[in-house]
């Protein structure tokens, strides 16, 4: 094909198409990262045109993903990450084929790696979460902010990006509800804040936020410079409080989300309610995310297993 645009130009047109179809900026940004890495990988192997991408080169890319190791940690890519990379490349190639830039989609025969069904990351116990919350210095505006955001994370199980995006009008103080606008999948949802979290949020808004406010903005949680949080900065902040509280379990904001779901499940909440709270589109996501706790499993085992009531064998010394 004469006058074929470069892969980078075609990538820009692809992203414009996604924007016209109302894809979220987060998804587009993630795909931008993945596809640019693929283009760089291809260029390093002499593939400079999209017409030169073949099933064989995609198979080689899959092998490269499988053998790739992180330079810092030496760890491989998770199979779910490999599958996500390949799926993203496949979607771009399918679009190129539909638009007539390439003859056929070379990714149609590529088999995606089977994803692992892993248990979710660590969660905090009730004692640990209370220790975390009580470790905040409440004598400063940033301390009031941090207590409020930790309380809101714990009460609602909202995602990091959802908390960052909260605006003043998203909180209904009378009903104790928070409106999460355009969450994952560009879906709105309403979640209860709980009385305690709402109380700390109101205290921050009254006594802490005015001191952080640099210019007019309706963003609720502000940095010391008066700006909205960057996701990495917020994760680092939460991690610093976990470390200061002596909690060594891996994780940060997402661990608080998982803590909310797990402790509610242990308290008797049904999966449908947790699904709605977390904003999961599919119930099976919630079933994996809020795994049955070992505490509840042990209680059920003790109550229902015939052998659980039998006396254990006596030792020879008794």
CB of 165 within 8 A of CB of 149?
A: no
Residue with tokens 């996604």: 18
Q: Let me know if 142 is exposed, middle or buried by CB neighbors in 10 A (0-12, 13-18, 19+).
A: middle
- The span from the CA of 258 to the CA of 292, in Å, is 12
DSSP, collapsed to helix, strand or coil, labels residue 273 as: helix
Six token digits for residue 212: 């952080």
Instruction: Please provide the DSSP assignment of 8-65 as one string.
Output: HHHHHHHHHHHHHTT--HHHHHHHHHHHHHHHHHHHHTT--SGGG--HHHHHHHHHHH
Write out the catalytic residue numbers: 159, 184, 254, 257, 280, 289
DSSP class of 104: S
Six token digits for residue 317: 């010394």
- The span from the CA of 138 to the CA of 119, in Å, is 35
Smallest CA-to-CA distance from 156 within 187, 173, 141, 177 is with: 177
Contacts of 163 (CB under 8 A, 6+ apart): 149, 152, 153, 221, 234, 253
- The span from the CA of 306 to the CA of 29, in Å, is 54
Contacts of 229 (CB under 8 A, 6+ apart): 164, 221, 222, 223, 237
Six token digits for residue 115: 């994803």
């Amino acid at each position: 094909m004469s006058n074929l645009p470069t892969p980078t130009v075609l990538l820009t047109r692809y992203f414009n198409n996604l924007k016209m179809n109302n894809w979220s900026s987060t998804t587009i940004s993630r795909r931008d990262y993945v596809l640019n890495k693929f283009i760089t990988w291809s260029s390093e192997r002499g593939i400079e045109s999209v017409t030169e991408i073949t099933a064989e080169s995609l198979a080689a890319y899959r092998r490269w993903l499988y053998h790739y190791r992180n330079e810092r940690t030496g760890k491989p890519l998770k199979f779910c990450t490999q599958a996500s990379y390949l799926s993203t490349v496949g979607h771009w190639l399918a679009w190129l084929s539909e638009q007539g830039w390439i003859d056929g989609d070379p990714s149609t025969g590529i088999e995606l790696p089977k994803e692992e069904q892993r248990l979710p990351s660590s969660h905090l116990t009730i004692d640990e979460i209370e220790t975390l919350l009580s470790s905040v210095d409440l004598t400063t505006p940033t301390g009031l902010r941090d207590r409020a955001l930790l309380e809101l994370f714990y009460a609602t199980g909202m995602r990091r990006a959802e908390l960052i995006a909260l605006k003043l009008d998203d909180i209904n103080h009378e009903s104790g509800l928070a409106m999460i606008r355009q969450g994952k999948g560009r879906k709105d949802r309403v979640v209860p804040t709980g009385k305690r979290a709402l109380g700390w949020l109101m205290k921050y808004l009254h006594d802490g936020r005015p001191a952080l406010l640099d210019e007019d903005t309706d963003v609720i949680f502000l940095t010391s410079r008066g700006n909205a949080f960057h996701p990495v900065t917020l994760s680092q902040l939460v991690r610093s409080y976990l470390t200061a509280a002596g909690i060594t379990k891996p994780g940060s904001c997402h661990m608080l989300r998982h803590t909310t779901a797990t402790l509610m499940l242990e308290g008797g909440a049904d999966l449908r309610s947790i699904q709605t709270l977390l904003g999961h589109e599919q119930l099976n996501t919630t079933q994996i995310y809020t795994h049955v706790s070992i505490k509840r499993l042990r209680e059920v085992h003790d109550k229902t297993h015939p052998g659980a009531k039998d006396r254990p064998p006596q030792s020879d010394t008794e």
